[in-house]
Amino acid sequence: MPIVVVTPPTVFPVSRADAKKHLHAEEFADDDVYIDGLIAAATGHMDGPAGSLGRAIMPQVLEWRGDSFGFCDIRLAFPPVVNIVSVKYDDEDGAEQIVPGTDYRLVGQPGMPRVALTYGASWPQVMSQSEAVRVRYNAGYPDAASVPAPIKQAILLLVGHWYANREAVVVGSTVAELPLAVRGLLFPFQSLA
Spans of all domains in the chain: 15-55+145-189, 60-139
Give me the CATH topology for the region 15-55+145-189: Hypothetical protein yqbg (1.10.3230)
Global pTM reads 0.85
* pLDDT tens-digit series, residues 105-117: 999 987 789 999 9
The pLDDT value recorded for residue 174 is: 60
* pLDDT tens-digit series, residues 11-27: 999 999 999 999 999 89
Supply φ then ψ for residue 111, to 5 degrees.
Answer: -75, -40
* pLDDT tens-digit series, residues 113-136: 999 999 999 999 999 999 999 999
- Confirm if 62 and 3 have CB atoms less than 8 A apart: yes
Cα separation values, 81 from 57, 89, 133, 181, Å: 10, 20, 18, 27
